[in-house]
Structure 1
Amino acid sequence: MARVRVRREKKIRTLANIMRRDNERQERKERGLPPEILELIMSRLNLLENIRASAVSTRWLASAVSVRRTKPNPFLVHIPKRGDYFEFFDPSASISYLNEIPEIRNSRVLYSNDGWLLLNHPFTLTLFFFSPFERATQPIPRPWATRSMPLSTAFTSNPFSTGLIVFTISQTILNVTIAFWRRGWEQWKIITFPRPLHHFYSAWVQIVYSSGCFYCLSLQGQLGVFDPVTFAWSVRNIVPPVCLGVQVLGNPWRARFMAELAGQIYVVCTGPGPVPVVYRVGWENGKEWLPLGGSLEGVALFVNGLRSLAKVDLGKPTAGRIVFSKVKFHGARCVMYSPGQKRYYPDSKMRLDWSKEEPNRNIWIEVPENI
């Protein structure tokens, strides 16, 4: 036994010496690169690239750690049925914050973006933006004088951005109606398109803005695209993403969620099946939904019936996971799924039953970095 222990320790020392010599050789090659240039390069990397670069050498590790920053996680806003107290849940720390917001009492939340909410008052029909972090309100014109806003509504940026566009879509058996408004316009532009009979009649339930167009995912999994510059509307002829075990009838839309990141569109499908399925739009392969494998490459998907988000540069426990707008253990933990580990958290055996969920009672909102 003593001889075996000696041989093992000798091998460990030999490997340590080899690694040390390789590290010294790598650092000698890098001496021509000034430290401020190396830090500048590291600061331009996202979190996943930063972690990978830190494995090159001890010098790269020190530089990578010195500039490594993680971004804040979105908060899950719970919308009360009555009263003025809104709950903001931070999934990264499992902490809830109560905030009294009488400014949006009885209003219906439609969408969130850039730290702002878009709301519609069902009685006065007023349409307005509200920032719960700045306690600021910004009203905008409404498209119809006697009609409430559809839930299928989205906007592109904060209300003071010059590129702001507000978009909504609704339909009947025969027509699809799209209304949109740009910052500075006095009234909305409303366009009606005939609905082809071979298209399923189903609500457009998830909307994202990407590369200058609005992408709309229907209850049946069809993908519609609207260009606000050319006023063109089309339904892409691609096979809808499959939600394992989800039937067509009876509100299956609660099991489909769509998010966008840097031009990449993701769809998360969950149902009675054991695990979620994640797709992305494969424009390069005949415009089809491509199932992703066992890793999200550090992307975190925060999914919800009103608004889904895709984020990078987040720390544990949300990085590389699907974060659902369901909270377990009396509000203490968010339900997450790790594609890499192929399990749910906090309970590995849980199943998500969306038929028991009350829709539109919560929404993800991005948190400003200075909060």
Structure 2
Amino acid sequence: MAGCKDNNSLPHGFGSRPWLFEMHGRKRQTCSFFDPINNSLEERILPDFLQGKACLGCYGEWILLSDELTRECFFLSTISFSKIYIPPLPDLPAFIYSASVSISSPPNTSNCVVVLICSSETFLLVSSPGKKRWNKVPIKYFNKNAGSLRCASVIFTELLFIMTSMDETLAIDTDSTIIGKIDENEIVISRQWAELPFDLLELLLPRLSLVDCLRLGSVCKGWSNASSSVQKGKVWPWLMHLPNCKYRLCKFFDPFYCKEYIFKSDALDAHYHLALLFSKDGWVVITEGNQRVFILNPFTAQVINLPSLKKYIFDGISFVSVPASPDFVVYGFFFQMGGEFVVISSWRPGEEEWVFHEFRAPIPFFPSSNNPVLFRGEFYCLGRKGELGVFNSKMESWNVLCKPEPVHAIAPCYGDEYCHLLELNGDLVSVFREDDMKKPIRVFKFNQSLMVWEKLEHLGDMTLFVDRRKSIAIPPLEKKYVNRIYIPKFEGNRDSKKLIFYSMEDNRYHPSVHTHTVEEPVTCVWMEPNLHLLN
């Protein structure tokens, strides 16, 4: 039931979504606001300067008002209550009481045009802010049986399309008031995509999937600014996996939209098995067989070939910066002889061979399958028991930290538990995930002041994406995705599969896991597309 409030304030939420707004002229001293979202109706008492006004139309925040006695016309901003005047309505009762109104653009722009259309008349009224009068535009019907005008709408700012009651369409150039007939199936207007208002484009962006955002910058140069806003804010990890190297295909699964995309790349035309090892900033490290190593950007098809190895032996691989950067360096880590020795290999663009550095570990170190994480200028490696090894590339030193104390007294067997290391909100975080999905996931934060692992019960406003090689933490698109840990396993069939995630809220996997329907890609890695490389 409507309630009349004794103030001039606007209803809560007005301006943030569409409302139905009605002014009652001299019949009542109130106006009505109907919210279709909440199905609520509110009334407000009108200020004196709005008494006796009728609403003719609106454009955005601006409503077009007319005084029923003086025929004075003006636009009123519902935000600032500022007014912009247009000429008073002519003394034509049909237009005063039954006209349809089309407004081309906001009245505070130079190309605003207001058109009044009346179904019982054979002319239109056209005017603009700053004009002294309304211009009559006669309508010539090309079909004598066309009947009366039925409706109208403005396309951008220059053309007005009118539909007659006999389905004949007329077009009016509002600058020159030239009327022409639109033939059936005729292409009437061709506009550049760059002329689409930027604020409308920004409204569309949140409704696009990431793959459509990837295509956005290629539509026209003028949309590069919109692409930039996507680059900064709307990027989340995709799970990349290789279904069959024979067909040069790779698949990407979008965890939020539950959609799978297929990319084809000649770089994946391989004679031997391909394995995904690491990803960073849109680049993926891949091995072919036991010798070839290369870095691929699947979106730009750029390939960087690394020196061949007699045999790929790295337990972990990572790189500093990104390709084309002057400080780009690739590092490979290999632990041997019971964890007492570590061989760290490096490669820089222009070098023909890997450079090997051998270190003796003060404490035996058995690495997890997770790659080293670059944190505050040093590479941190997570051991299978939860200990930390640190490589400083500038000092060329390797050290196994005495603290924090390991999470496990004895290292679990390979395959029983997966250990992940990543950076979360400026801290190092470890994730221990048992293969048995009935067991809970444990998350710890490394407190560098106390040199201890602190158990985390909540991820805050973040979401984790973990796999055996790469783990990522991001703030998600919507709050419903927070406090989740996504793992590289699918639930469901081919047409309706979803990625499984672990909720830190209820400490369970979702959707409900049935072992016989769980699928895990043989080789996969989480990766974040680097959108600016596509523009």
Seen in structure 2, the aligned counterparts of structure 1 residues 314 and 369 have a Cα distance that, compared at 3 Å, is: farther
Seen in structure 2, the aligned counterparts of structure 1 residues 317 and 188 have a Cα distance that, compared at 3 Å, is: farther
Measured after TM superposition, the shift of residue 161 of structure 1 is: 2.0
CA distance in 2, matches of 1:133, 1:172: 36
Q: TM-score, normalised by structure 2?
A: 0.50
CA distance in 1, matches of 2:392, 2:521: 29
User: Among residues 96, 106, 131, which one is paired with 2:297 in the alignment?
Assistant: 131
For the pair 1:119 / 2:119, whether they are aligned, the reply is no
Which deviations, in whole Å up to 9, do the C-alpha atoms of 1:232-251 show, x marking residues without a partner? Answer: 111111222359xx972243
Quote the residue 1:223 is aligned against: 388
The answer to whether the Cα contact below 8 Å between 1:257 and 1:269 also exists between their aligned partners in 2 is: yes
Which deviations, in whole Å up to 9, do the C-alpha atoms of 1:252-308 show, x marking residues without a partner? Answer: 4x52111124542111112245321111111022x1111112x21112110000111
For the pair 1:289 / 2:453, whether they are aligned, the reply is yes
- Choose between structure 1 and 2: higher strand proportion: 2
For the pair 1:302 / 2:465, whether they are aligned, the reply is yes
CA distance in 2, matches of 1:122, 1:169: 18
For the pair 1:362 / 2:535, whether they are aligned, the reply is no
Q: Percent identical across equivalent pairs?
A: 26
Q: Secondary structure at the match of 2:449?
A: helix
Seen in structure 2, the aligned counterparts of structure 1 residues 359 and 239 have a Cα distance that, compared at 3 Å, is: farther
Runs of 4+ residues over 6 Å off in structure 1: 356-359
Q: Secondary structure at the match of 1:270?
A: strand
Quote the residue 1:100 is aligned against: 264
Seen in structure 2, the aligned counterparts of structure 1 residues 269 and 352 have a Cα distance that, compared at 3 Å, is: farther
Seen in structure 2, the aligned counterparts of structure 1 residues 330 and 251 have a Cα distance that, compared at 3 Å, is: same
Unaligned runs of 5+ in 1: 1-12, 21-66
Measured after TM superposition, the shift of residue 360 of structure 1 is: 5.2
Q: Secondary structure at the match of 2:356?
A: strand
CA distance in 1, matches of 2:316, 2:287: 12
Measured after TM superposition, the shift of residue 324 of structure 1 is: 0.8
CA distance in 1, matches of 2:507, 2:370: 27
Quote the residue 1:168 is aligned against: 332
Measured after TM superposition, the shift of residue 203 of structure 1 is: 5.4
Seen in structure 2, the aligned counterparts of structure 1 residues 75 and 265 have a Cα distance that, compared at 3 Å, is: same
CA distance in 1, matches of 2:360, 2:514: 40
Count of residues in Structure 1 that have an aligned counterpart in Structure 2: 301
Letter in 2 for 1:96: E
CA distance in 1, matches of 2:467, 2:482: 17
CA distance in 2, matches of 1:214, 1:250: 23
Seen in structure 2, the aligned counterparts of structure 1 residues 336 and 313 have a Cα distance that, compared at 3 Å, is: closer
Seen in structure 2, the aligned counterparts of structure 1 residues 314 and 213 have a Cα distance that, compared at 3 Å, is: farther
CA distance in 2, matches of 1:157, 1:352: 40
Q: Secondary structure at the match of 1:120?
A: strand
Letter in 1 for 2:524: N
The answer to whether the Cα contact below 8 Å between 2:315 and 2:335 also exists between their aligned partners in 1 is: no
Which deviations, in whole Å up to 9, do the C-alpha atoms of 1:199-250 show, x marking residues without a partner? Answer: 354556432111111111122322111011000111111222359xx97224
Where in structure 2 are the equivalents of 1:249-328 lying within 5 Å? Answer: 249-252=413-416, 254-261=417-424, 263-271=426-434, 272=436, 274-285=439-450, 287-293=451-457, 295-315=458-478, 317-328=480-491
Where in structure 2 are the equivalents of 1:152-167 lying within 5 Å? Answer: 152-167=316-331
For the pair 1:207 / 2:372, whether they are aligned, the reply is yes
The answer to whether the Cα contact below 8 Å between 2:245 and 2:274 also exists between their aligned partners in 1 is: no
Quote the residue 1:241 is aligned against: 407
- Choose between structure 1 and 2: higher helix proportion: 1
- Could you say which structure has the greater relative contact order, defined with CA pairs below 8 angstroms and 6 or more residues apart? 1
The answer to whether the Cα contact below 8 Å between 1:175 and 1:192 also exists between their aligned partners in 2 is: yes
Q: TM-score, normalised by structure 1?
A: 0.70
Seen in structure 2, the aligned counterparts of structure 1 residues 316 and 161 have a Cα distance that, compared at 3 Å, is: farther
For the pair 1:342 / 2:517, whether they are aligned, the reply is no
Quote the residue 1:75 is aligned against: 238
Q: Secondary structure at the match of 2:331?
A: strand
Q: Which has the larger radius of gyration?
A: 2
Seen in structure 2, the aligned counterparts of structure 1 residues 365 and 204 have a Cα distance that, compared at 3 Å, is: closer
